[in-house]
Structure 1
C-alpha cells in the first residue's frame, strides 16, 4: 500500500491491507499522529471506477464532521464572542425558545432533533429554509432533560449560531480560521475546484423489508417511520445524496465534511497541541456533559460539548478519549493520555454492527504503542 509507517507501527499497515483482503474495503486512508509526530499515513484502493485512491483523495465523512463543526463554535467561545450559557436567542433572535442555551445545541439536548415538516434537499442546500423551520419548530421534549441525537439539525443549529456571531458561514469560518491557517485538507462546502479529488460514496445496503416485530426492541425504531429515530434521520426528505456535486458544494455541517485522513488526524493533533482551542476549553469540551440512553439512537451515549466520548465497550475507549464517528465507518478521535490523534476515511459504507475496519486499525495502533 502507498504511504509510510514509522518503525514499530508496521501492524497498522498489516491491518490496513487485511481490511482490503477480508473486510470489503474498496478505497480508504488512515493517518495517525503520536505526540505531534506523524507515524502512519496510508492510502489505497479505488476512489471510483477507474480512478485510484491517491494521497490527496477527499472523502465525505458524514457525522465525523460534527466534531469539526463543534470546534468552530468553541473557537468563538475561546475568543470571548460566544457564551455557552447564553440563550441561543441572544445571538439568533428569531429562534425564540429563550430557555435553550448554546451549550444544549452542542450536547444534543435542545429537543430539536426532528422537524414536524421535513425539508427537501433543495431547501437544505439553500440553508435559510432550514433555519426558518428550526425557528418555527417546538421542542420534541423538554430541553435540557434528555439528549437525543440531532443527526441533521445539529449542523444547522450550530452553524447558524456561528453565522450570526461571526458574520460568516460555518464552512467559511472553518476555512479562514482553522483549516486554512493550519494547512488541513478538510472542507465543509467543497469548492468546485476540489471536486475532482472526491471519492464516490458506496452506500451500505439496508434491508428495510424486515418485520420490526422480529427485531430486538432497541432496533425496532430504526424501521418505524413514525419513530423519533427515523424522524431525526429523515429531517431532510428524500435522503441527501452526498455524491451530488450540488450537495458537496453546499454546507451541511452535520454530514458533508470532506477531507483526507491526514486532514482529519491533523485536526485532532492540532487540538491536542493547543493550535485550535486553549487547553482549558478543550478540557471542558471533552468533559462528560451527558451520560445515558439517547432518545434517538436508543443506545447509551456519553457526550461532551460537541465531541462524542466513548462508552467503555467501544474499541477506541480511553479515560481521556474524544472524537466522532460517521455513517458507514469513518472515524476521527484523539486520546490526550496517549498523545494519539487518529483519522480513518473510506468510501465503502458498511453495516455498523458487522464493520470491523476502523476497529482493526485502532487496535493495531494501540498494540504498536505498547
Structure 2
C-alpha cells in the first residue's frame, strides 16, 4: 500500500471502465512533487507517460493569462485599458467600452462572434482575428454586466494586444516570459518536432460533432498549448507561491492576487453554465471539478479532458489529464472520482 493507494485505484478504475484510454496525474505539495503517475495508453502503440505531449485545450488560457499578466507588469497594457486603445480598428457600437479585464473575465459582449470563430478554426489566426476585430457586439449587453464563456474571441484580442505592444509573436512572448523561467517544455503551437496525441471522444455519439478539432500548430492562445500536462501544475504553483518558482520571480505578489481575486459579482449568472461561476482575471475559481478543494482554489479546465488547480489552504497543486474527451456529466464524474480520492489519501 502507498500513501496514494486510493487515487491510484481511482485512476485505474476510470481507465478500466473504458472512460478514457489513459490518464496522467501530477501532485505538488508545499512546492515539492509527491506524485507523478500515468496509467493506460496514449495511443494504440504508446503507453501514457508523464512526458506524453498532449493538447491542453482551453487550459491553454492559463499560460496565456500569465503571459498577459507579464505584459501588464512590463507596462504594455493594463486590465482597465479599453481594447480600442490598443486595437483602434476594434471600435464600434457596444465595443468601445470593452476593457481588457472584460476579456479575462468573459464578460465582454462577444458571444456571437466567438461562436463564429468556433466554426472557422481552419481559416487560421489572421482570419479569425479579423473576424473578431470587425464583428458586432452582442446587443443589450453592457460590458461587465453579463457573463458567458468566450472560447477564442477574447484571447485572440489579447494575443494581438501583446504582439503589438511587445513587437514579437505572442507564442514567443509566452515562451520567453513564462515557459522558459518555469522550465516548461510545453509550447504554444506544440514543442518543435513533437507528436501531439490525438485525444479521442468517449462521450455520447450524438455530441461528438460539437467537439472542436483543430491542429494545435495553428497557435491559438486560447487552446493551442501542447506538451506534458504536468507543466500546467508549474504555472499554478508559481501563482500559489505568489509569483515565484524555482527561485525565479515570474509575477509580483500583487499581480498574483489580482488573478485569483473574484472579479465578477457573486450573483452574476454565467449564461454558458446557467449558474453563477466565480472568475478572477483569467482564472476559474473554486470550480466544482476541483472536488473538496477550498474556496480559495483556482485554476483552469481544458476541453472535457483535463484540469489543473492550486489549493492554497492545502498547500496543494494538481494537474489531471484524461486521454479522452467525454460528455459534461461523465467528465465531472471522472474528475471528482480522482480528486476526492486524492484528498482522502492526503
Q: Give the structure-1-normalised TM-score.
A: 0.82
Tell me the equivalent position of 1:226: none
Stretch of structure 1 that moved more, 144-153 or 28-37: 144-153
The yes-or-no answer on 1:17 pairing with 2:15 is no
Distance 1:92 1:109 in 2: 19
Distance 2:17 2:289 in 1: 24
The verdict on how the C-alpha distance between 1:43 and 1:317 changes in structure 2, with shifts beyond 3 A counting, is: same
Tell me the equivalent position of 2:73: 78
After TM superposition, list the pairs within 5 Å mapping 1:189-338 onto structure 2. Answer: 189-194=189-194, 196=195, 198-208=196-206, 240-242=212-214, 247-273=215-241, 274-275=243-244, 276-290=250-264, 291=266, 292-310=268-286, 315-338=291-314
2:112 counterpart SS class? coil
After TM superposition, list the pairs within 5 Å mapping 1:1-370 onto structure 2. Answer: 8-22=3-17, 24-96=19-91, 97-115=95-113, 118=117, 120-123=120-123, 125=124, 127-140=125-138, 141-194=141-194, 196=195, 198-208=196-206, 240-242=212-214, 247-273=215-241, 274-275=243-244, 276-290=250-264, 291=266, 292-310=268-286, 315-355=291-331, 356-369=333-346
Which runs of 5 or more structure 2 residues have no equivalent in the other structure? 245-249
Distance 2:153 2:239 in 1: 25
**Alignment RMSD, CA only?**
2.4
Q: By how many angstroms is 1:20 displaced?
A: 1.8
Distance 1:351 1:313 in 2: 14
Distance 1:204 1:48 in 2: 14
The verdict on how the C-alpha distance between 1:27 and 1:144 changes in structure 2, with shifts beyond 3 A counting, is: same
Q: By how many angstroms is 1:208 displaced?
A: 4.1
Distance 2:337 2:116 in 1: 41
Distance 1:364 1:279 in 2: 32
Contact 1:29 1:260 in 2 (8 A): no
Q: By how many angstroms is 1:114 displaced?
A: 2.6
1:303 counterpart SS class? coil
Distance 1:271 1:284 in 2: 11
The Cα offsets for residues 68-98 of structure 1, whole Å up to 9 and x where unpaired, read as 2111111111233321111111122222233
Structure 1 runs, 4 residues or longer, greater than 3 Å off? 116-119, 204-209, 311-314
The verdict on how the C-alpha distance between 1:163 and 1:316 changes in structure 2, with shifts beyond 3 A counting, is: farther
The Cα offsets for residues 305-350 of structure 1, whole Å up to 9 and x where unpaired, read as 0000125796254221011112223101111111111111222112
Contact 1:184 1:267 in 2 (8 A): no
Q: Give the structure-2-normalised TM-score.
A: 0.87
The verdict on how the C-alpha distance between 1:53 and 1:137 changes in structure 2, with shifts beyond 3 A counting, is: same
Which runs of 5 or more structure 1 residues have no equivalent in the other structure? 210-222, 224-232, 234-238
Q: By how many angstroms is 1:11 displaced?
A: 2.7
Q: By how many angstroms is 1:49 displaced?
A: 1.8
The verdict on how the C-alpha distance between 1:12 and 1:157 changes in structure 2, with shifts beyond 3 A counting, is: same
The verdict on how the C-alpha distance between 1:318 and 1:205 changes in structure 2, with shifts beyond 3 A counting, is: same
1:181 counterpart SS class? coil
Contact 1:47 1:57 in 2 (8 A): yes
Q: By how many angstroms is 1:158 displaced?
A: 2.0
